[in-house]
Amino acid sequence: MLEKIQQLLAEVETLQAHSAEELEALRIKYLSKKGSISALMNDFRSVPAEQKKEVGIKINELKTRAFDKINALRAEFAQTDSADDDIDITRTAYPTPLGTRHPLTIVKNEIVDIFSRLGFSLAEGPEVEDDWHVFGSMNFADDHPARDMQDTFFIEARPDVILRTHTSSVQSRVMEKTQPPIRIICPGRVYRNEAISARAHCFFHQVEGLYVDKEVSFTDLKQVLLLFAREMFGEGTQIRLRPSYFPFTEPSAEMDISCNICGGTGCAFCKHTGWVEILGCGMVDPAVLQLNGIDPTKYKGYAFGMGVERIANLKYQVKDLRMFSENDMRFLREFEAAN
Ligand code: PHE
């Protein structure tokens, strides 16, 4: 019996297989229930008691060796197989070209980010709007010139359906559904019927802000805008508010920041004034609260709206507005690092 085991051990060491079928045949010959090792196990019963221990150990050794050898042959096959497929799994993958974010997206995200840190939450509304949300609910008189054909895109068959001319429509969309406190920041695209040139486009982007609560003051507005300007353009940035007029705010103001291109000393960008206008703002007109279902005797609010292209121009000095919508890869790739 020991001799037989020894012989099988030697045999197992020299096993070779040239195909999967040959390997399977070897497995059956040695390791299956009807294989030679199982046969040995059956004969084990007739081994004299004093030899049982030694024979048992040897059979086990043979079994392990046969098992290992057949597995090793299988592993060799697996490797040869992938080589046959001509795939070199050790090669590095081709680099995937990275896309770039659009500069307006980068700037919009930055604006939204600053205001979210101040507790403003994101709100959005439709670009295709109705006259009520764009003008009526924002306290524009029926004969206000902003409704004029020259500014607003109308849809011929449906005079009530328009492309929004400002994101202030989102103020109304939120107020009609929500009671204060309301603190929202609303980015979006707006449309105006303008001839396309380096300085004007028929669509551009705005970010609107609205805060309505019991105690809201002009000081709060000014403080939030100062903080925004410094986060966006740097610690040393100054702001200046000039009285202005919007139908939906009273009092109203336009805000300038110290020109961050020349640092306020005067350059072509700021037309040598040292200041550049970046947004409109004011205290929400009580009439607007009333029109949108909020009690003006209980609540007050402030609102502001800024042009994203304008802020992007200040940050990146893009001289021609058309660059933002032409999708010229040479221009877009400039912003790879700003992602
Ligand atoms: N909607 C104004 C515009 O488009 C900006 C603005 C928003 C002004 C909110 C005051 C308050 O010019």
Atom 7 of ligand 1: nearest residue by CA position: 305
C-alpha distance from residue 16 to each of 20, 23, 35, 37 (Å): 11, 8, 17, 18
Atom 10 of ligand 1: nearest residue by CA position: 281
Predicted local confidence at residue 156, as pLDDT = 80
196 and 245 share a domain?
yes
Atom 8 of ligand 1: nearest residue by CA position: 280
55 and 110 share a domain?
no
223 and 77 share a domain?
no
> Residue 331 Cα, ligand 1 centroid: separation in angstroms?
29
Predicted local confidence at residue 82, as pLDDT = 53
> Residue 94 Cα, ligand 1 centroid: separation in angstroms?
48
Predicted local confidence at residue 276, as pLDDT = 93
C-alpha distance from residue 83 to each of 74, 80, 90, 182, 312 (Å): 15, 5, 11, 65, 53
Structure letter (DSSP) for residue 86: T
Tally of domains within the chain = 2
135 and 69 share a domain?
no
Predicted local confidence at residue 221, as pLDDT = 98
Q: pLDDT digit of tens for each residue in the chain (339 aa)?
A: 888 888 888 988 888 888 888 888 888 988 888 888 888 888 888 888 888 888 889 888 988 998 898 888 888 777 665 555 678 888 888 887 778 899 999 999 999 999 999 999 999 999 999 999 999 999 999 888 877 767 899 888 888 899 999 999 999 999 999 999 999 999 999 999 999 998 889 999 999 999 999 999 999 999 999 999 999 999 999 999 999 999 999 999 999 999 988 888 988 888 999 999 999 999 999 999 999 999 999 999 999 999 999 999 999 988 889 999 999 999 999 888 776
Single out the residue in 19, 50, 84 at which a domain terminates.
84
Residue 263 included in any domain: yes
Q: Are 296 and 286 in contact (CB under 8 A)?
A: yes
223 and 301 share a domain?
yes
> Residue 201 Cα, ligand 1 centroid: separation in angstroms?
17
- Mutate which of 137, 138, 151, 166 to test ligand 1's pocket (most atoms within 8 Å of Cβ)? 166
Place of tokens 């764009």: 134
Q: Extract the tokens encoding 54.
A: 């030694």
Give me the CATH number covering residue 320: 3.30.930.10
> Residue 280 Cα, ligand 1 centroid: separation in angstroms?
5
CA distance 179 to 295: 9
Omega of the bond leading into 251 within 30 degrees of 0 (cis):
yes
Predicted local confidence at residue 18, as pLDDT = 81
Residue 221 included in any domain: yes
49 and 172 share a domain?
no
Q: Extract the tokens encoding 261.
A: 């291109």
123 and 34 share a domain?
no
> Residue 253 Cα, ligand 1 centroid: separation in angstroms?
10
* Other beta carbons within 10 Å of 300: 21
Predicted local confidence at residue 87, as pLDDT = 80
Q: Which domain holds residue 165?
A: 103-338
> Residue 295 Cα, ligand 1 centroid: separation in angstroms?
22
Residue 134 included in any domain: yes
Residue 116 included in any domain: yes
Residues 6+ apart with CB under 8 A from 229: 237, 239, 255, 257, 278
79 and 108 share a domain?
no
Residues 6+ apart with CB under 8 A from 298: 214
214 and 330 share a domain?
yes
293: helix, strand or coil = coil
Q: Residue 310: which of 254, 247, 249, 253 has the closest Cα?
A: 254
189 and 148 share a domain?
yes
Residue ranges around ligand 1 (CB below 6 Å): 166, 168, 208, 246, 249, 280-282, 303-305
Residue 285 included in any domain: yes
Predicted local confidence at residue 81, as pLDDT = 56
| Ligand 1 atom closest to Cα of residue 279 | 5
> Residue 279 Cα, ligand 1 centroid: separation in angstroms?
7
Single out the residue in 84, 114, 143 at which a domain terminates.
84
130 and 72 share a domain?
no
> Residue 245 Cα, ligand 1 centroid: separation in angstroms?
10
- Mutate which of 139, 190, 218, 246 to test ligand 1's pocket (most atoms within 8 Å of Cβ)? 246
- Mutate which of 168, 182, 203, 248 to test ligand 1's pocket (most atoms within 8 Å of Cβ)? 168
The continuous run of DSSP H or E covering 117 comes out as helix 103-117
> Residue 330 Cα, ligand 1 centroid: separation in angstroms?
33
| Ligand 1 atom closest to Cα of residue 165 | 4
Residue 125 included in any domain: yes
118 and 30 share a domain?
no
Residue 98 included in any domain: no
Angle between helices 218-233 and 103-117 (to 10 degrees): 130
| Ligand 1 atom closest to Cα of residue 252 | 10
313: helix, strand or coil = helix
Q: Tell me the chain's radius of gyration from C-alpha atoms.
A: 39
Atom 5 of ligand 1: nearest residue by CA position: 305
| Ligand 1 atom closest to Cα of residue 171 | 9
C-alpha distance from residue 116 to each of 24, 307, 337 (Å): 66, 18, 24
Residue 95 included in any domain: no
Single out the residue in 84, 113, 135 at which a domain terminates.
84
The continuous run of DSSP H or E covering 4 comes out as helix 2-13
